[in-house]
Amino acid sequence: MQTFDFTTLTAVCSDIRANWLPSRLEQVYQRDRYTISIALRTLKGRGWLEISWHPQAARLHIGDPPPRIPDTFTFSQQLIHQLNGLALVTVEAIAPWERAIDLQFARRPGENALYHLYVEIMGKYSNVILTDASNTIITPARQVNQQKSSVRPILTGQPYETPPSLTGAIPGLSESQQRWQERVSLIPGTIKRQLLKNYRGVSPALVESMLLVADIDPETNTDALKPDDWQRLFARWQEWLQALVNEKFQPAWTSFGYTVLGWDVIEPATDIQELLNRYYTDWLNQQTFSQLRHQLSQRLSNVLEKLRLKAQTFEQRLQESDRADEYRTKADLLMAHLQDWQVGMKEISLPDFETGKSVKIALEPDKNAVQNAQNLYKQHQKLKRARLAVEPLLKEVNAEIEYLEQVEAAIAQIENYQTTEDLQTLEEIREELIQQRYLEDPEYRSRNGSETSNNFYRYRTPGGFEVLIGRNNRQNDQLTFRVAGDYDLWFHAQEIPGSHVLLRLQPGAVPEEIDLQFTANLAAYYSRARQSDQVPIIYTQPKHVYKPKGAKPGIAIYKQERILWGQPQLVKGTRD
């Protein structure tokens, strides 16, 4: 990931000063453990200033509005308590060439600041700290006690101290190429390493892009650089410094991420704030997606393993109970042939009532024939009672397995992160599993149950009909029991976990065979049998699909169905 470096911070602050000062603070919302969003109102409109102290993605930029989930964090509540209604009047650096800025809040422009919100972007040491006018700390995002740092503790009530100064030289336009070259090449090493080591304000991403546009390999040793190489590189160095001084930036997408200097441009960006918001949102969503998908898959695998073992145990007990009649028959035989029993017998062979074949009956030698028969009758009754007790338990476990396999199939369909909808779908699955008590999350914040997303997969059949496909159980229920109309057709893989699929039809519309087959192929593709050549698919009208009383999300029963054979390998993956 590309770090939010000094150059980017300078460009962002320049844009904020130009477009968002002064602005009235209207709201503070904390998105997660590391990120707050501050609602700012100017004469032109309203925006959300996103500030993050994330260890890998600390940053500051105008971002998206926060979700409609209750904010339960105390840091944001403390900020809104102190800053509500005040104006953001100044954005300035704490010290030259430092990735730390001071957001100053006053009653109105031109007045002295009542509060300072210091944003320190320093990797894993990043922090956001609110102080009063005298620089006494009111609240930090991260408390840093003496055990964590004896050099610079950050605690409520203590005076705010600026971060320790960096040790590298300060770049300047007045520095000659000769002096600059001497400093960089004094100790031989790779050019990338020497630039990073000797000067403040440079970052790996900046140096990489600078060397790329100068046509120099980053791993080239300083001793191997030719005069022309040094000249080209110094020209880019000066170009960078000139952009910082003049605050003239050119945001764009590059081959490795983004730039604010117009170097290695793949696609220009019109707005630096939108560029940064999209880049860091996508990166963080990708990380969250991978972690969440692994967590959910692992949890489901563990629970299903235990449930299948339990089901196997119940099935074994049922198989044993199938022998109940065998015990009764043996007892009857023994009672009918009491005269054949002898003291001390461990086994007796008697002819079967119907077939006449010899039946061996194990006996307890210390008991007589009647007592042995009574034991066999008791075993018969015990096994019959076991069946009555085990059958509902097995049914319950199998229903639970069916439900979790449905969830597992939904997760398997979302292999990689591509859009925010992919992450949202996984988050809905996590929320469902928490509500169903398969997961515990102390930081879980419930969404409004009516806010299930409608980001279904969408396709068009050859005949032009729309096909909607649920991406998780909540969406399946939404699709089947709320979205589906009287004229639509409902598809699902037969007795195989998979998505609910809806072929939308207008009154009087009749789908052709090719439309039905296309939809069946999709239902097969979005099922657990995706790798098969052919999958049995049922379809029926939505009015014939029911949710059993007390059933878990995504579970449905149907009637008056017809069957098609879906071919998942024919699905090309192109969606609307």
Q: Does the bond joining 22 to the residue before it have cis omega, within 30 degrees of 0?
A: yes
376 — pLDDT class (breaks 50, 70, 90): confident
What's the CA gap between 504 and 576, in Å, rounded?
14
The model carries a pTM of 0.79
Residue for token digits 């040790």?
167
Please say if the pLDDT value at position 448 is more than 60: no
- Highest mean pLDDT (candidates 321-330, 362-371, 417-426, 514-523): 514-523
Structure tokens at 54: 């994330």
Q: Can you give the pLDDT at residue 573?
A: 60
State both tokens at 207: 């140096």
Question: Which pLDDT score, from 0 to 100, does residue 83 have?
Answer: 97
Bridge partners of residue 137, in order along the sequence: 131
The token duo for 160 is 């705010």
- Binned at pLDDT 50, 70 and 90, residue 446 comes out as low
Question: What confidence category does residue 423 fall into, taking pLDDT thresholds of 50, 70 and 90?
Answer: very high
**Angle formed by the axes of helices 227-246 and 177-185, to 10°?**
110
Give the burial class of 537: count Cβ atoms within 10 A of its Cβ; 0-12 exposed, 13-18 middle, 19 or more buried: buried
What is the arithmetic mean of pLDDT over 138-153? Answer: 88
- State the pLDDT at residue 450: 45
Residue 539 clears pLDDT 70, i.e. is over it: yes
What is d(CA 182, CA 287) in angstroms, rounded to the nearest whole number?
42
Q: Cα–Cα distance between 63 and 72 in angstroms, integer?
A: 20
Residues 6+ apart with CB under 8 A from 518: 459, 461, 462, 467
Q: Tokens for 420, please give them.
A: 């925010």
Residue 153 in tokens: 């503790």
How many helices (H) does the chain have, and how many strands (E)? Answer: 12, 22
CB of 432 closer than 8 Å to CB of 474? yes
- What pLDDT does 491 receive? 97
- Rg of the chain (C-alpha set): 35
Report the distance separating Cα 29 and Cα 439, nearest Å: 26
State the chain's mean pLDDT as an integer: 92
CB atoms within 10 A of CB 239: 14
